[in-house]
Amino acid sequence: MKDTIDTTRLTLLLNELRLPAIKHLWEKFAERSDKEGWTAARLLMALAEHEIAERDRRRIERHLGEAKLLPGKTLDNYDFEAVPMISKAQVSALCAGDGWLEKGANLLLFGPPGGGKSHLASAIGLSLVEKGWRVLFTRTSELVQKMQRARRDLVLEALIQSLDRYHLVILDDLVYVAKDHAETSVLFELISTRYERRSLLITANQPFGEWGKIFQDPAMTLAAVDRLVHHATIFEMNVESYRRREALGRKKRGAGRPANYATTKNVGTLTLSDNQTAT
Q: Is the pLDDT of residue 255 over 60?
A: no
> Is there a single domain that holds both residue 229 and residue 152?
yes
> Is there a single domain that holds both residue 204 and residue 224?
yes
Q: pLDDT per residue over 133-164, tens digit each?
A: 999 999 999 999 999 999 999 999 999 999 99
> Is there a single domain that holds both residue 20 and residue 73?
no
Q: Is the pLDDT of residue 130 over 70?
A: yes
Residue 252, in any domain of the structure? no
**Residue numbers of the domain that contains 225:** 68-236
Which DSSP letter does residue 77 get? T
Average pLDDT in the 113-123 region? 93
pLDDT of residue 241: 58
Q: Is the pLDDT of residue 264 over 50?
A: no
Residue 278, in any domain of the structure? no
Average pLDDT in the 238-246 region? 61
Decide: 197 and 190 in contact? Cβ < 8 Å: no
> Is there a single domain that holds both residue 87 and residue 225?
yes
Domain total of the chain: 2
Residue 78, in any domain of the structure? yes
pLDDT of residue 234: 94
253 Cβ neighbours under 8 A, 6+ residues apart: 259
pLDDT of residue 73: 95
> Is there a single domain that holds both residue 201 and residue 149?
yes
Residue 274, in any domain of the structure? no
Distance separating alpha carbons of residues 275 and 269, to the nearest angstrom: 10
Decide: 129 and 67 in contact? Cβ < 8 Å: yes
Question: Within 13 A of 234's CA, how many CA atoms are on the CB side?
Answer: 12
> Is there a single domain that holds both residue 89 and residue 165?
yes
Radius of gyration, CA atoms only, the chain: 24
| Final residue belonging to a domain, choices 221, 236, 251 | 236
> Is there a single domain that holds both residue 59 and residue 75?
no
> Is there a single domain that holds both residue 152 and residue 42?
no
114: left (phi over 0), alpha (psi -120 to 50) or beta: left
> Is there a single domain that holds both residue 9 and residue 25?
yes
**Number of Cβ within a 10 Å radius of residue 51:** 19
Residue 279, in any domain of the structure? no
> Is there a single domain that holds both residue 91 and residue 227?
yes
Q: How confident is the model at residue 16 (pLDDT cuts 50, 70, 90)?
A: confident
Q: What stretches of 17-139 show up as alpha helix (H) in DSSP?
A: 20-36, 40-67, 88-94, 117-130
> Is there a single domain that holds both residue 228 and residue 132?
yes
In 3D, which of 181, 184, 68, 169 has the Cα closest to residue 160?
Answer: 169
| Final residue belonging to a domain, choices 48, 66, 84 | 66
Q: pLDDT per residue over 156-214, tens digit each?
A: 999 999 999 999 999 999 876 656 677 788 999 999 999 999 999 999 988 777 777 77
Decide: 60 and 129 in contact? Cβ < 8 Å: yes
Q: Is the pLDDT of residue 248 over 70?
A: no
Q: For residue 187, give the H/E element and its range.
A: helix 181-194
Proportion of the chain above pLDDT 90, given as a percent: 52
Residue 44, in any domain of the structure? yes
Residue 200, in any domain of the structure? yes
Residue 271, in any domain of the structure? no
> Is there a single domain that holds both residue 131 and residue 74?
yes
Residue 163: give its domain's CATH number: 3.40.50.300
Q: Which amino acid is at 77?
A: N
| Final residue belonging to a domain, choices 66, 99, 122 | 66
Q: For Cα atoms 166, 167, 168, give the angle at the middle one, nearest 5 degrees.
A: 85
Instruction: Note the pTM of the prediction, 2 decimals.
Output: 0.75
Decide: 274 and 148 in contact? Cβ < 8 Å: no
Q: How confident is the model at residue 278 (pLDDT cuts 50, 70, 90)?
A: very low
- Dihedral over Cα of 267, 262, 246, 108: its sign: negative
